[in-house]
Structure 1
């Protein structure tokens, strides 16, 4: 079996389209199609159903994809490890981090790593959880720093909890809600919201809580993939509600917000590191994980 044929197969399986896969790999469509056919002949299996919309995996093709994808990632890890040993270098660390955790948690750890390892090379992807998870599955990241919610629970990943970071409903300090003697979930439905997009775990969690309590879904008038810290000016000048983390509340921008004292919409969550189970990590990646762990331990210390 030619390795290039396997790469052609994996690219088509991921994209579902020969043209897109050829563009991603920088090869011609005829060369890619020929490689797929060669692989099918060698395996004596039909891997794809050709449809007007593209290429769909057959049942044997799906099984082969799951196995071969892991095998290819394992080979990539082996090549990276051998290259690191041959060069005698620390290697490259490829980390993903959500926007919330970049400035106040991840960035200081990177500064410390560069002070210790001046020749270090770091590739950082800052994005939302779903995009980072996809990159991690594809072998594009060594690890990611994120909220360890349900979608990160998989046999493919190992999870390293770092510190708690609860999520609260919040608003400007003078919001009408804070004048009520008692706040219930139904009161929140009377106001409009600033929230992340529907693909984000925190938004899905909040909507589920509303549904479970028989309340209408939050009326979202502003959607953003940025941290709330970047949009505090909107909250301070409107009666919009939002979800905000402890990290943001402790920052300069977040101190202007008030927390709605309602346990029913408080998400007790854990921030942590997610990494491929059993995958190779360079010494540099291991050191950055250690530094992140040290910074997390400092966060867990009681504040005086």
Structure 2
């Protein structure tokens, strides 16, 4: 902003620059920063590929497919953020790709908890007499008076569908947004009542909350059963990816739209805010990828049978009865 005539620098109103323009304006610090972030994204991808090979060889189906999907969230987001960092014009596409992949991970994490219990049938046999506590976040954490619902196959199907709808509809909405963008009808910065973004984004937010609720319900039910499978730190990493990739990015974009992030030619405030978000995500997803490697790259032992103690008690009771019968006969 020029202090004399209060005019805006024309470069702050331009669209995102081309990749070659980004490279030309890099100074020594920028070259070092971009190189380190690119190296982190590359290492994240290599660590993920190494994990995939290990899981594919050591873990039986179908659990290995689910694990590969879940551990891929952080490296995929890091890779897409690196592409958006070097090619600012593609940021909208890289963010949509990351969000679509994570929408699938939300559903896959629910399936992972079931498979850690031994599958759907084993889960129902183990927990069929229990009840789900539905007063959990993000929908009903403030409603402890809600009744608990029985663990049935029908209820389990409802929970799975609640997360599956987000994986499907999020991808559909991303495709619709891209089609509208090519026709000039979609702009993330257009928050007017006539803009399409102001209608699509809140609806996607509602779908996100609906999808996260079943995962939270399932986690609260199995967290003690799967404590030996390190389900609590795994769930923490899943939640951390959610907060950083969705909430953090949304906050930075809102600050950029309000002008709280200063323009730095050739980047407008919106583009600069997006680049800051990509840089943070690469570093954060790199750390999460390393932590996930410690959590998932291990030997997978099956859970003990649900009725193991009941069988032992029955056998002990039978032995005692036989001994008592023998003593009486003697």
| TM-score, structure 2 as length reference | 0.23
The structure where strand makes up a greater share of residues is 1
| TM-score, structure 1 as length reference | 0.25
Larger radius of gyration: 2
Which structure would you say has the larger RCO, counting Cα contacts within 8 Å and 6 or more residues apart? 2
